[in-house]
Structure 1
Amino acid sequence: MQHSLNPLLPSAVAVLLLSGCAGAHADGPSTAAPATSGGGAAATIDNCGFEVELGKAPERILAIKSTSLEMLLALGLHDRIVGSAFLDGPVPAEWEDRASDVPLLAEQVPSQETVLEAEPDFVFAGWESNLTADGAGERATLREFGIRTYVAPSACRTEGYVPDPMTFDLLFDEILQAGEVFGAADAAKQLVAEQRTTLESLVPSSDGLTALWYSSGTDTPYVGAGSGAPQMVLDAVGLENIAAGADGAWTSYSWEAIVDANPDVIVLVDAAWNSADMKIAMLKSDPVTAALPAVQQDRFLIVPFPASEAGVRTVDATADLIQQLETLGR
C-alpha cells in the first residue's frame, strides 16, 4: 500500500566553520577527509565522493547498520536518534539503556518511504550500498528533501576512497570526524583517547600462529582478506591471516585453500542469521574441514558481527580476541 508522503522542507543550515580532522598518517591514507569551506559558506566534507554540508548539529538521526547506531550511542547522542534499521546484532550491555527507546524501523535496509516517514534531518549509513534508489534513497535525492547523509568512511567503496589498508589511526580519525559531523566533538575526543590507551595496553601473541577469519558462506567461504578490518585486528592480535594475500577487506575463498593453509585457529563471525555455532557444526560435519586440527581441537575465536566491521567496538573486540587466544593456549 502506498502512503502519501510529506517531503521535508530543507532546514536552514547555520554557518559553522569546523577545523578539519587529522590528516593522512604514514601507515595509510586518511578516509576521514578534512572540512573545507570558501566564501563564508558552511563547511563541507568529502564523504565517499559525496559533499556533505556541515552546520547545525543534526537533531533527528536515522541510523542504518549496527556500526552507525553504536557510534551514535558511544558519543552520547541517543536522544537524537529517531530510528534504526538493518541491525546486525544486539547492542552491547554498556549501551542498552541508551538504545532502549530507539525504534527499529526495518529489519533490512529501509525503503526511501520508510526513511521519509521517520522525518530525519540526517541519515547515518554503515554501508555505501544502503543509500541507493532501491534502498534508503540516493544521497542526492535525500538531500533534495533536506536530509543530509553520511557513510562511515571505513565502509567507502567508491574508487579512491577505499581504505587500503585499514588502520586504527584511520578508525580514530573516523570517530573524530563523526564527532564533528554530529555535534559531539568533545565526546569523540574522549572516546578516542580511551581507545588509544586500551589499544596501546594490548600485548599481541608472539607464538607465530596462523588464522582464518571466517565470516559467512558454506559452498564458498567469505573470509577476511588483506586490507580491511579483519586484517587490522588479526595483526593487533598477533595472528597471521592465511588470506592476507587476497585483495580487499573481505573476499570469496575456497575450502581447498583453507585446508592447504591449515590455520592454527579459526575466527568465527557470530551473526543471528549465521551463528558461530552453526559454522562450527558445519565445519565438523564436512569431511574436508573436519580433518583440520583447528576444528578437531575446537580452536575457535568468536567475534560478534557488529564488532567485525570497523567501528567503536573494534578495539574492545581486539582485546577480547587476545583474551580468547590466551584461554585456548591453557
Structure 2
Amino acid sequence: MAVSARADARSGRIRALPLLVSAALAVAGCGSDGDPAAGAVRAAGDSSDTSADDAAQASAEWPVTVENCGTQLTFDAPPERVVTLNRPATEILLALGLRDRITAVAGAPDESADPSVTDDFHALDVLVEKDYPSAEALLNTEPDFLYSAYPSAFRDTGIGSRETFHELGIPTFLSHGRCENRDESQPLTIEEIWSEIEQMGEVFGVQDRAAEFVEGQREQLAQTLASLENLPPMSVFWWDMKTDTPFVGGCCGAPGMIIDAVGFENAFADLPGHWADASWEQVVERDPDLIVIADFGDGDLDTKLDFINSDPTLSQLRAVREGAIVPLPFHSTVPGIQTVTTVGVLADAARELADE
C-alpha cells in the first residue's frame, strides 16, 4: 500500500474525514489476512515552524524513510500535528523538545510523569483522561502523525487499525517492542527503546537531540550498573496485577528487560510473553529475594500490600518478612524514557537489602 498526503490538499480533506471515518473503519475491518500495517506510507508536511538549526538539518536530509513493524514510512518534512496515544510516546517526544509538534494527547499527566517533561506535559491538550478517543474526535484534531506505545491503540477497542489511517494519508508509528508481528519469545531490550528514540529524531529532524538524550541514558545506566558490583545474585518476582491469580512479568517484556538490565534473575523467566498468569503456589515455591509491585493508583498498592501481608502463607515469603518490596508506579514500568531510572530504583533497593 502506498499513500500520498500532499500538504496543499491536506487541510480540507482532514476536515471532511469525520464524515468518512465510519465507512473507512468498516472497509478496514474487511481487510486482508496479512499484516494490516504492511506496505509503504508517505506523508508530507510544512517545516516552516522548525528552528533555524533544525531547518538546516532537515533540509539536508529530507525526505526521511523509517521502518516500523514492517511498514516503510516516508516523510517529506517533520510532522507538525502529532497526536500521541499514550504516555510513553508523549514523554519520548517531549524529551526531544517537540512540545510544539504535539497537537493533542490521550492520557492526562499525573504525579508519575517523568519530572524532566512534567511542565511540558501539563501544557498539552488532552483528548481523553484515559484510554483512547473516538476516531471522530481524533480526526477533528487534523493529525498528520499518530504515535502509540501500545498495539491496543490500533485495535477495534482503540482508535481503529493502522491500515485505516494509512489509507487516509495519516502515518502511524507503534513502539518497536509491541509490533503485532513480533515473536513473543523475543526479549525486549533497552537498546530497542533507544533505537526508537533515535528514529523519532530522524522523523522530526532532531537527530542531534536524540543522540544526546540516548548518550545521557547510556551514561546513567552505566553508573547504575557500576554501583552493583560485588552484589550477590538476586531473584525478582514482578507482580503486575490481580490477587486471585497473580499476573506476573514474564520472559520478554518490560519487567523482564528491567530485571535483566540489573543483572538479576526473573523468577518467572520461564513464562512466555510480556506478562503471564502464574499461581501463588509458584511464587511460594520460588521464594524470591525481591518483589516488585506495579502500582496502578487509586488504592491499588494498598490492596496488594494488605493481601500479601495478611495471607498466612504469602506473609512468610522471605521478601515479605524482610521488607524487600519495591513499589513502582505503573507508568514507570513500561518501556520509555523512565526505564533507565526504574532500573536505578531496583538497583537501589537491591543495595539496601544487601547492606542489611
TM-score, length-normalised on structure 2?
A: 0.77
SS at structure 1 position matched to 2:173: strand
Corresponding residue for residue 146 of structure 1 = 169
Given that 2:42 and 2:171 are in contact with CA atoms closer than 8 Å, whether structure 1 keeps it comes out as no
Corresponding residue for residue 181 of structure 2 = 158
What aligned pairs does 1:24-63 form with structure 2 within 5 A after superposition?
43-63=64-84
**One-letter amino acid of the counterpart of residue 286, structure 1:** D
- Classify 1:285/1:59 alpha carbon distance in 2 versus 1 (closer, same or farther; 3 Å): same
Residue 273 of structure 1 and its aligned partner are, at CA, apart by: 4.9
In 1, the alpha carbon distance for the partners of 2:320 and 2:108 equals: 30
Residue 42 of structure 1 and its aligned partner are, at CA, apart by: 5.1
Q: As a proportion of its length, which structure holds more helix?
A: 2
Corresponding residue for residue 202 of structure 2 = 180
Residue 213 of structure 1 and its aligned partner are, at CA, apart by: 0.7
Residue 265 of structure 1 and its aligned partner are, at CA, apart by: 1.1
What aligned pairs does 1:160-239 form with structure 2 within 5 A after superposition?
164-203=186-225, 204=228, 206-239=231-264
Given that 1:154 and 1:174 are in contact with CA atoms closer than 8 Å, whether structure 2 keeps it comes out as no
Which of 97, 110, 116 is 2:133 aligned to?
110
TM-score, length-normalised on structure 1?
A: 0.83
Residue 50 of structure 1 and its aligned partner are, at CA, apart by: 3.2
- Classify 1:171/1:159 alpha carbon distance in 2 versus 1 (closer, same or farther; 3 Å): closer
Which of 287, 291, 303 is 1:278 aligned to?
303
In 2, the alpha carbon distance for the partners of 1:117 and 1:298 equals: 50
Which range is displaced more, 101-110 or 163-172? 163-172
Given that 1:14 and 1:42 are in contact with CA atoms closer than 8 Å, whether structure 2 keeps it comes out as no
Residue 274 of structure 1 and its aligned partner are, at CA, apart by: 6.2
Identity, % of aligned positions: 33
Residue 191 of structure 1 and its aligned partner are, at CA, apart by: 0.6
**One-letter amino acid of the counterpart of residue 84, structure 1:** V
What do you get for the CA RMSD once the two structures are aligned? 2.8
Given that 1:78 and 1:98 are in contact with CA atoms closer than 8 Å, whether structure 2 keeps it comes out as yes
In 1, the alpha carbon distance for the partners of 2:85 and 2:300 equals: 21
- Classify 1:227/1:278 alpha carbon distance in 2 versus 1 (closer, same or farther; 3 Å): same
Given that 2:259 and 2:265 are in contact with CA atoms closer than 8 Å, whether structure 1 keeps it comes out as yes
Note the alpha carbon deviations across 1:170-189, whole angstroms, 9 max, x for none: 22212111211233211110
Corresponding residue for residue 21 of structure 1 = none
In 2, the alpha carbon distance for the partners of 1:11 and 1:234 equals: 38
SS at structure 1 position matched to 2:293: strand
Paired positions, count: 302
- Classify 1:200/1:163 alpha carbon distance in 2 versus 1 (closer, same or farther; 3 Å): farther
Given that 1:74 and 1:95 are in contact with CA atoms closer than 8 Å, whether structure 2 keeps it comes out as yes
In 2, the alpha carbon distance for the partners of 1:87 and 1:68 equals: 13
Corresponding residue for residue 26 of structure 1 = none
Note the alpha carbon deviations across 1:44-63, whole angstroms, 9 max, x for none: 33312333232211111111
SS at structure 1 position matched to 2:17: coil
SS at structure 2 position matched to 1:202: helix
Is there any run of 5+ residues in structure 2 with no aligned partner, and where? Answer: 1-14, 21-40, 48-61
**One-letter amino acid of the counterpart of residue 170, structure 2:** I
Residue 153 of structure 1 and its aligned partner are, at CA, apart by: 0.7
Which of 82, 95, 105 is 1:74 aligned to?
95
| 1:299 is the counterpart of 2:324 | yes
Given that 1:65 and 1:88 are in contact with CA atoms closer than 8 Å, whether structure 2 keeps it comes out as no
Is there any run of 5+ residues in structure 1 with no aligned partner, and where? Answer: 17-40
Note the alpha carbon deviations across 1:270-328, whole angstroms, 9 max, x for none: 22256333321221123332221212332111222122111111111111221122233
Residue 81 of structure 1 and its aligned partner are, at CA, apart by: 1.2
**One-letter amino acid of the counterpart of residue 97, structure 1:** D
In 1, the alpha carbon distance for the partners of 2:134 and 2:43 equals: 26
What aligned pairs does 1:239-258 form with structure 2 within 5 A after superposition?
239-258=264-283
SS at structure 1 position matched to 2:302: helix
| 1:13 is the counterpart of 2:44 | yes
**One-letter amino acid of the counterpart of residue 47, structure 1:** N
- Classify 1:14/1:123 alpha carbon distance in 2 versus 1 (closer, same or farther; 3 Å): closer
Corresponding residue for residue 265 of structure 1 = 290
In 1, the alpha carbon distance for the partners of 2:64 and 2:325 equals: 47
In 2, the alpha carbon distance for the partners of 1:46 and 1:83 equals: 24
